[in-house]
Structure 1
Amino acid sequence: MAQLQDIILAEPRGFCAGVDRAIEIVERALAKFGAPIYVRHEIVHNTYVVNDLKSKGAIFIEDLDDVPPRATLVFSAHGVSKAVQNEAAQRGFQVFDATCPLVTKVHIEVAKLHREGYEFIMIGHKGHPEVEGTMGQLDSGIHLVEDVADVARVNPAQSEKLAVVTQTTLSVDDAAEILKAVKARFPQVREPKQQDICYATQNRQDAVKVLSAQVDVVIVVGSPTSSNSNRLREVSLKLGTPAHMVDSADELRPEWFEGRARVGLTAGASAPEILVRQVIDRIKSFGAISVRSMDGLTETVKFPLPKGLKLGDAGTH
């Protein structure tokens, strides 16, 4: 029976530029204005990150009623609806928007095309905060589809001006399949100039496709609420390589590695590298000897911070 030998690390993995920026916004707000800082929804979908920020003085809320007057409020990386933005403005909170700029790009596209008379089909997962934020950019006229079957049920008021947008953290392959069904039913549908699925989601899925062919089992570090982490596990499973997702090293099971010589390890875009290191240590305790990184892309994307949080910005509480 094969003995556990090698851990192969996916490249790229872990934090993307949008997640880096969102966490830095909360940390800088805490440093500048002091605790507590209120954050609407989990800043990113990772338990470790959220608990770390809680320990530093961040308070995570879902309802703006839970934020005291004149408090500092941060919107999560997933984006928020117009209604939430308007309510925060009316209540006079000091707001820092940590929405990922790639999600903001989708919101801007929706606003622009809406002014030109378009309705929208959105490919995404119902109930995900990013989807709620994008759909909440308009009062009506955005139709959500989660799978190919949903496309047949869409009933837009008109189909001459119809555009498609997607959640940024979908499976690239699944989204392409749903888009194909949308185009078959609405041949004149307008597609985004560049696909909405973000570079980091695409890169991590591409890396898992390469990784899964080289290993006997894939471990994905990510929280259950993380859409992009769940998609990484699915990519491996679709290619026939067993895959498990863990929120922390404690969740690893020795039986997953029995008779498997090579383990592939990746992390979702909201999972910090410290968790990857802890998972490596635990897999080593099961008998793995070597750790190496596969060849892959180096990401260099950086997003600027909002005004008022950059170093040297003047500001008072």
Structure 2
Amino acid sequence: MAEKRRAEDAEPITAQETKKAKSDGTKQDDPHWATPLSSFQDFEMIKILNDHPKTKSVFVHGKFKGREEEAVVILEKTPFSEETLPIALSGETKLKVGLKNDIYGNYHGTPPAQVNGIKVSVVYPATPKHLVKYSQQESYLVQETEDDYKNITLPFLEKEAFRIQWVYNILEHKMESERIVYEDPDKETGFILLPDMKWDLKQVNDLYLIAIVHKHGIRSLRDLTAKHLPLLHNILKKGQQAIREKFNIPPCKLRIYLHYQPSYYHLHVHFTHLNFDAPGSGVERAHLLTDVIEHLEMMTDYYTKKTLSFCLRENDQLLAEFKKAGRVPEKSV
């Protein structure tokens, strides 16, 4: 699934969250914080940007009636849970035979509404960058050297305007404070731990939490040095402890990692259950926190000098910068 990364990036909010009152007094009908989606009656689809049969999700470009701003709506089939499974297997689910051959059979089932829901996420107002980001595109593997970072990536980051006000809203308890699982308020080594929006909080096997650091100015893995080891150790230890206490999941069942390139340029750490095939958890993007700590303990500026590989999509502006510098071929061979 596409991740959150570029200029003017906005945090997707679920339809259920649109009814929340904003703590700083902004009116609910302000389109820059609330989506007008309460049902699909007023949503007009323009086109499908992308779909993922494996994850049973689809990304739709559209508009709301009477609104000029465009939107991206993300639909995902919700997983079964222990609570809803007995309902799905009851007489309330209507079955229609699809194929019957000896001992094998398959059916089309229509379960009751309470077990047939979809998760709805919305990006609104959606910018042209969002439409590009959520569209199906080819990917390219980039190998970024120390010089590449200094001469290509860093200048790109510094000239682009990245909108991460939603991160500061969380850190300042202006938004989503009721979702916080754990907080260490220390300004140097502290963080807030809360559920990622990919997790519906219903099954621990799909657990996905994000630790967002309180300290400002650490954009990504590249900025980390040995002086940040107390921060990283603190996130690892207290994050594991909080998850064990809250969800009864031991550290050996957790995948704890950082993304490079990250979804947004304020340091954050991902906590996912090992049973969950989380987007972005592959080797081309994820760096285990324990490995990061060990590398910095061995070499204080390890991530300043290390060549880092990551994927960029064909319409990504950073990829254009790498192509312009001759670091990525213009066309596939």
- TM-score over 0.5 for the pair: no
Question: Higher helix share goes to which structure?
Answer: 1
Q: What TM-score, normalized by structure 1, do the two folds share? A: 0.29
Q: What TM-score, normalized by structure 2, do the two folds share? A: 0.28
Q: Which has the higher contact order (CA 8 A, sep 6+)?
A: 1
Question: Higher strand share goes to which structure?
Answer: 2
